[in-house]
């Protein structure tokens, strides 16, 4: 990875893979020589924002840059009325995030993911309105959440594949979905994942097909590779944050995100084996 840039673009599980890799490279130590180069990519905290849209760090000895950009839906979002602070956002299902199209020429390895934000609650809370071909979507098949998600994943992978001939050194991956493990309810109905015994539900993956059929289908026939982590992560229901989060809410367990060090370290080992 000398003189190269590795970019993760996706949701909070993509952020966890980025955090995992940063910890693996630094050995979990504070490294004063590591440079924060977020400004080079416009990744600075906006006024009133809780955090920036991502982070970028450079390791000077090898000139390796590792970055993460927050794009939960993996499609382009634009304000419908920029002058209104409470505006809805056009969610362009068939367009890549502006950050990706702008900075793609600077990347050598790209890892994309999306998945867990595709539900009505998230879309309504974020004031996202589905658009296709630059206009509000009227197709009922696409309006279905699964239809919208599949259109986006296929569109973005197809777009990245179309760009690869221009950048022969670029290796692009789409990471399959990270499994949730809520038992006896969902995240808001008392679901739990506080088993602490590793591999109690099984010890190996024996299937040939991906457990994320949508992701496998989307990369088929393209030069974008599938980073398939679903089935192996499914075996690790004890690896989630569960009730051990720093600011946990009584009665609510996080059975979506992972403890670090943990399962996302394996995703990065698989990524580097593929590289």
Burial of 228 per CB tally in 10 Å (0-12, 13-18, 19+): buried
Where do the structural domains in the chain lie, given as residue ranges? Answer: 5-274
The whole-model pTM stands at 0.95
Instruction: State both tokens at 110.
Output: 């790209």
Burial of 60 per CB tally in 10 Å (0-12, 13-18, 19+): exposed
- Going residue by residue through the chain, which has 275 residues, state the pLDDT in tens, using 9 for 90 and above: 999 999 999 999 999 999 999 999 999 899 999 999 999 999 999 888 888 999 999 999 999 999 999 999 999 999 999 999 899 999 999 999 999 999 999 999 999 999 988 988 889 999 999 999 999 999 999 999 999 999 999 999 999 999 999 999 999 999 999 999 988 888 788 889 988 999 988 899 999 999 999 999 999 999 999 999 999 999 999 999 998 888 777 778 999 999 999 999 999 999 999 99
Helix (H, G, I), strand (E, B) or coil at 115: coil
């Amino acid at each position: 990875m000398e003189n190269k840039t590795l970019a993760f673009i996706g949701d909070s599980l993509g952020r966890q893979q980025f955090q995992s890799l940063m910890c693996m490279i630094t050995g979990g130590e504070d490294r004063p020589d590591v440079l924060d180069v977020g400004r080079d990519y416009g990744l600075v905290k906006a006024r009133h924002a809780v955090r920036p849209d991502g982070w970028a760090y450079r390791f000077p000895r090898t000139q390796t840059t590792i970055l993460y950009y927050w794009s939960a839906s993996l499609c382009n979002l634009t304000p419908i009325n920029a002058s209104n602070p409470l505006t809805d956002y056009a969610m362009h299902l068939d367009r890549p995030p502006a950050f990706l199209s702008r900075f793609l020429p600077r990347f050598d390895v790209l890892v994309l993911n999306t998945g867990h934000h595709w539900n009505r609650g998230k879309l309504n809370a974020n004031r996202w309105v589905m658009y296709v071909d630059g206009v509000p979507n009227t197709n009922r098949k696409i309006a279905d959440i699964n239809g919208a998600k599949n259109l986006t994943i296929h569109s973005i992978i197809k777009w990245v594949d179309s760009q690869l001939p221009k950048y022969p050194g670029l290796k692009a991956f789409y990471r399959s979905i990270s499994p949730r493990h809520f038992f006896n309810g969902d995240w808001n109905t008392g679901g739990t994942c506080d088993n602490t015994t590793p591999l109690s539900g099984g010890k190996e993956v024996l299937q040939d097909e991906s457990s994320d059929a949508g992701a496998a289908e989307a990369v088929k026939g393209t030069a974008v590779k599938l980073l398939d982590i679903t089935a192996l992560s499914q075996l690790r229901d004890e690896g989630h944050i569960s009730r051990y989060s720093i600011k946990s809410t009584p009665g609510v367990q996080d059975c979506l995100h992972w403890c670090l060090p943990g399962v996302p370290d394996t995703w990065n080992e698989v990524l580097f084996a593929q590289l």
